[in-house]
Amino acid sequence: MPTKKKPQVTAAPARRRELLDRAAEVFAEQGYNATTVRRIADDAGMLAGSLYYYFDSKDAMLEEILRTFLDELWEQYDTVLAAGLGPSETFRSLVTESFLAIDRHRAAVEIYQNEAKQLIAQERRFGFLEVSQRKFEQTWLSTLERGVAEGEFRADLDTKVTYRFVRDTVWVAASWYRPGGQYSPEQIARQYLSMVLDGIAVRT
* pLDDT of 64: 96
In a domain, 120, yes or no: yes
Q: What is the pLDDT of residues 7-60, one digit of tens each?
A: 444 447 888 899 999 999 999 999 999 999 999 999 888 888 888 889 999 999
* pLDDT of 6: 41
In a domain, 171, yes or no: yes
Give the CATH number, domain containing residue 91.
Answer: 1.10.357.10
CA gap 3, 107 in Å, rounded: 44
* pLDDT of 33: 92
In a domain, 65, yes or no: yes
* pLDDT of 4: 43
* pLDDT of 74: 97
* pLDDT of 9: 44
In a domain, 103, yes or no: yes
Q: Which domain does 114 fall in, by range?
A: 57-198
* pLDDT of 28: 95
Please compute, for residue 139, the number of CA atoms within 13 A of its CA located in the half-sphere on the CB side: 23
In a domain, 32, yes or no: no
In a domain, 118, yes or no: yes
Low-confidence ranges of the chain (pLDDT < 50): 1-11
Please give the tally of structural domains in the chain: 1
In a domain, 43, yes or no: no
* pLDDT of 116: 94
Q: Are residues 90 and 161 in contact, defined by beta-carbon separation less than 8 angstroms?
A: no
* pLDDT of 1: 43
* pLDDT of 10: 42
In a domain, 45, yes or no: no
Whether pTM > 0.85 for this model: the answer is yes
